[in-house]
Structure 1
């Protein structure tokens, strides 16, 4: 009985002590709150309205100096923003984003790429919000997977799982077309040096010539991280605009008779050939160009799992869920670099021009190589020169464009599978070119 009484008294004492301590703490906090409240200065109705107005986008456009975006949105590589960039610059970028919306929705130009990029650009140019800043949504996405080169590897893994090597194995000559189209990469390297970029920066810029977004991000992250945003925007813009850029070049370099050429049916490829090819490509990269193995390794891994036929769930995830999720984040992250203070500068505009010329040169080189190969091919084994344009790395966009242009002149002429050969070779070729540049510089 005495033990129970003693225990009850101890419990009562502890409860009273806890209550007193809590009350003391609360009182102390209340004093602090009162002190804070005491420091607050009452405002008139006019001052409240003015305070609200200063946080609106209207004030930000009319009085750019009040925009906190200038100090926190792009702290890492920001420079002083001029009045033009903050007002008219944003309006120009809004217009650019709406044009991209139009191309994606009304014209159907690669909406999977253009819509996330354009929407990211729209968000990046919203005043005051700081969405594109280091701690904003777009900034977090950019640092999470683009700045460190992680998203490109996941994209390559998904592309590998989606790729069918059958056209390339059935017609190995198509690899020459993929190689010829890489002329744009080395042409843009010379062009970038000519206008004042150093060799490392020029090497990073040059990959745009292959229209390979993931590889462009990967090599820029290693050689010229300060240009990463501009290079990513240029590379993905030209990837998405393949249906606009390539057809005029293809038509200018070929005759109507050449566009009507029907290619012989591809031979049947054994499953073991498709299974061993990604391993062979990876081993060659390891031996000759280890610098390219992150990209080629991710690509080979995705393709090997697909060709094995025993992990359909993993292959399906890489082809669909994984690549779709990464594409959303990648598009928004790239779009964050469409902010006026980053895009409307001479370096970025110069990179865009170099990229356009290089991509055009790569397309032309592929078509010309196909015409040359026709000269040494037999009459019953002719090559439609249009498929040379698919040698750039924009897979499968370039192959679809080739097929569409070919059917404009002969609806029965199906070039898609033939064009996939150089298209796949172009993906590997751009990764190899990146490895060469990384190993040198």
Structure 2
């Protein structure tokens, strides 16, 4: 009887549970706590955490590497229902029949092809473009400098990662965490360092969700109370034509400068052009809702599926987590410092708090700038002003990613 129980137990998944799996369940529980209890980016962290749990279970039919050898195409010539190799039918026609053998693989081997084939991140940018108003950036174009300054964290961490022993391609993938743009981090990592994709994606999305905790201390440290109370002039109204020209013009310029950023920039501007054209309401609603929502589920769980204990619990992962938070903090700081520098040479003051919104976490970073401004002055409204550098950060991070891809592909 006891032997029968032992034999039965050995056939279940319980016998395959390891210490590493238990640790990963704990990490997934922390992510779920942040998402569900604290409300930090639940649309991203819940799918990632759920995928991480699945990745650390002895599943079947979920993660089975696709074997290309199982996929075969056969062609043969048929005449009157009988195969006659190499001979046409009596009337001179040749009929070819394709026989397809099933390709074997698990559910997420196929869903994750959307990442490996670089489909999901650009399509999410389509939804981001459809959801984002570029008006504040157009009305105050100098905030482009704040978005550009925030990329300092990307490149500083790139060099730091390289000095710590990572390859140039891996260092670039780690550095892009500083842009606080999950889809861009995944897009770049998949191209340059797919072996680090899970750790980089989790770091990028985790820090995006922790923007309200990470950024405010840095913002308060680098600004005075007087600076935080600066009230900015109301933005002018931007016309429909300006928005359409901006979307098309930025796409053309960015693609000409950095062709490797085409997939991200092109889809971002397509989504925004659809939004601002005013004649594609159905397409805009689809991009803003069904498309981006479905893709977010697939992207999050696909990222979580890569968090297997044997690959995730490694010294390199800890380094990536630490370097990622440094990158994010530096990007926040350089945005604020750039705003202070601009105030030294401009007669029209900028509230330095909006400089922190130069990272790509749209619209959370802009919201944090607004909240911090209201802490100092309850009557100060910075949300729309902060959206300018926030949008600039999205564009800047995508361009930086394209530059790194073009420079380091094959390294």
TM-score where L is the length of structure 2: 0.86
User: SS at the partner of 1:267?
Assistant: coil
Runs (4 or more) in structure 1 with deviation over 6 Å come to none
**CA offsets per residue over residues 310-335 of structure 1, 9 Å max, x none?**
00000111011111111111111111
Q: For 2:363 and 2:332, how far apart are their aligned partners in 1? A: 15
Partner residue in 2 for 1:416: 383
Alignment of 1:179-328 (within 5 A): 179-328=148-297
Q: Which has the higher helix share?
A: 1
Unaligned runs of 5+ in 1: 1-44, 62-85
Q: For 1:341 and 1:427, how far apart are their aligned partners in 2? A: 33
Greater CA drift, 109-118 or 198-207: 198-207
**CA offsets per residue over residues 379-400 of structure 1, 9 Å max, x none?**
xx32111111110111112112
TM-fit CA distance, 1:46: 4.2
**CA offsets per residue over residues 47-70 of structure 1, 9 Å max, x none?**
442222113454333xxxxxxxxx
**CA offsets per residue over residues 199-235 of structure 1, 9 Å max, x none?**
1222222211111111112122222222222222222
> Do the aligned partners of 1:155 and 1:326 also contact (CA within 8 Å) in 2?
yes
Give the alignment partner of residue 110 of structure 2, picking from 113, 131, 140: 140
Partner residue in 1 for 2:40: 109
Q: For 1:361 and 1:388, how far apart are their aligned partners in 2? A: 12
Partner residue in 1 for 2:358: 391
> Do the aligned partners of 1:175 and 1:422 also contact (CA within 8 Å) in 2?
yes
**CA offsets per residue over residues 77-136 of structure 1, 9 Å max, x none?**
xxxxxxxxx31x222222221122221122111111111111111222224557445344
Q: For 2:204 and 2:39, how far apart are their aligned partners in 1? A: 19
Partner residue in 1 for 2:28: 97
Greater CA drift, 416-425 or 200-209: 200-209
**CA offsets per residue over residues 337-377 of structure 1, 9 Å max, x none?**
22222211112221121111111100110011111112223
Alignment of 1:292-441 (within 5 A): 292-378=261-347, 381-441=348-408
Greater CA drift, 121-130 or 176-185: 121-130
Greater CA drift, 158-167 or 236-245: 236-245
Greater CA drift, 424-433 or 281-290: 281-290
Give the alignment partner of residue 5 of structure 2, picking from 23, 28, 49: 49
TM-fit CA distance, 1:410: 2.3
> Do the aligned partners of 1:139 and 1:336 also contact (CA within 8 Å) in 2?
no
Q: For 1:130 and 1:95, how far apart are their aligned partners in 2? A: 24
Q: CA RMSD in A?
A: 1.7
TM-score where L is the length of structure 1: 0.80
Partner residue in 1 for 2:89: none
> Do the aligned partners of 2:271 and 2:287 also contact (CA within 8 Å) in 1?
yes
Q: For 2:328 and 2:176, how far apart are their aligned partners in 1? A: 9
TM-fit CA distance, 1:172: 0.6
Unaligned runs of 5+ in 2: 66-104
> Is 1:151 the counterpart of 2:120 in the alignment?
yes
Q: For 1:263 and 1:383, how far apart are their aligned partners in 2? A: 6
Q: For 2:11 and 2:340, how far apart are their aligned partners in 1? A: 61
> Is 1:119 the counterpart of 2:50 in the alignment?
yes
User: SS at the partner of 1:173?
Assistant: helix
Q: For 2:319 and 2:123, how far apart are their aligned partners in 1? A: 29
Greater CA drift, 45-54 or 366-375: 45-54
Provide closer, same or farther for how the CA distance between residues 95 and 130 of structure 1 changes in structure 2, counting only shifts above 3 A: farther
How many aligned residue pairs are there? 369
> Do the aligned partners of 1:120 and 1:138 also contact (CA within 8 Å) in 2?
no
> Do the aligned partners of 1:123 and 1:132 also contact (CA within 8 Å) in 2?
no
Greater CA drift, 172-181 or 122-131: 122-131
Q: For 1:280 and 1:128, how far apart are their aligned partners in 2? A: 49
Partner residue in 2 for 1:164: 133
